[in-house]
Amino acid sequence: MNFGKILVKRIGYGLILLVAVVVLNFTLITIAPGDVADSIAGDMGGADAEVLAEIRIRYGLDQPFLVQLWRYASSIAVLDLGHSYFYNEAVTSLIMQRLPATLLLVFSSQILAITLGMLIGVMAARKPNSFFNLVVTFLSLFGFAAPVFWTGILLIILFVSIFSVFPVGGMMSASLIDASWYEQWLNIAYHLVLPMVTLASIYFAIYSRLTRAAMQEVMGSDYIRTARAKGLSETRVFYKHALRNSLGPLVTVAGLQFSAVISGAVVVEAVFSWPGLGTLALQSILARDTPTIMGILFFSSLVVIIVNIFTDLVLRAIDPRIRID
């Protein structure tokens, strides 16, 4: 099967999954306890029964469930995610304002976790019984066991309260709003360090252990012994033959963990006041702003589906033996 057919098939599967996610999200939020009209009226300072009825008619809350679902799915098809009750703004506009911050945090933490995890895992696999391997095992267990919010608070205490190296939160200093783009990006990178390290810590532990285990398994293969018998250097055998054949499990797990990374970003954004989708989702949940909540869930699902399609294609590129039907 050529690349084009594989891509079209994967996109088709992704669209089916996205439709299922939209229906499930709408159903769960609709059947949740509470009345959305009461929440809207509460933001207005309260209302009587007549005003509540007008609110239900205005937002279509008086329609049957299937009618509401069809109207919402139809609007999703044209990328209209509705209007926020709480922010009084289009949901698509709200999400587009916050999406870059979340994607920056998620992708930077994933790159950091994969790079360091693969590097440390490879170094530990070269010396399986060394003290370094023991240290890697301890750090992996610590990173995997520690809750991400606890790691974030610990880093704030250490690098903000004690040493005052990094800012406590936010994405950019208010004094640099009118500065050049270069200064702004440097300041954003400076603010990004602690949230990125916090979110990457748990996945670094996963990737380092996975890389070490995969490398140790590959090093016992027949083709590795054949390469050594041909007189190839240990470095060439290790990095050209063993490492490439160990990347499959790492790429697979990285793709599967992407949804968990987005979930972890919600907590990290709350700890560091990072202005992303996680902060927006938390505020929307507290305000019971259902259009914004469903819009965030839709976009998060869309990003995860795209990343998983990309993961399938990368797997096929790094290992031609893998067939994607």
In-domain check, residue 37: yes
The residue out of 25, 47, 77 marking a domain boundary is: 77
The residue out of 19, 51, 77 marking a domain boundary is: 77
Residues 13 and 143 in one domain: no
Residues 61 and 96 in one domain: no
pLDDT of the chain, 325 residues: tens digit per residue: 566 777 888 888 889 999 998 999 888 888 877 777 777 776 665 666 777 778 777 777 778 888 888 888 888 888 888 888 888 888 989 999 998 999 999 999 999 999 988 888 888 887 777 788 788 778 777 777 888 888 889 999 999 888 888 888 888 887 777 778 888 889 889 999 999 999 998 888 888 888 888 888 888 788 888 888 888 887 788 777 788 788 888 888 888 888 888 888 888 998 898 888 888 888 888 888 888 988 998 988 888 888 888 888 888 777 766 665 5
In-domain check, residue 166: yes
φ and ψ of 89, to 5 deg = -150, 155
In-domain check, residue 27: yes
Residues 54 and 183 in one domain: no
> Can you give the CATH number for the domain in which 252 is found?
1.10.3720.10
The residue out of 28, 46, 77 marking a domain boundary is: 77
For the chain, how many structural domains are there in total? 2
| DSSP-assigned letters across all residues of 21-56 | HHHHHHHHHHHSSS-HHHHHHHHTT---HHHHHHHH
| pTM: predicted TM-score of the whole model, two decimal places | 0.83
In-domain check, residue 84: no
Q: Cβ–Cβ contacts within 10 Å for residue 127, how many? A: 11
Ramachandran bin of 45, using left for φ above 0, alpha for ψ from -120 to 50, beta for the remaining angles:
left
User: 127-131: long-range contacts (C-beta < 8 A, 24 or more apart)?
Assistant: 128/216
Instruction: Supply the range of the domain harboring residue 52.
Output: 3-77
> 310 vs 6, 127, 252, CA distance in Å?
11, 33, 11
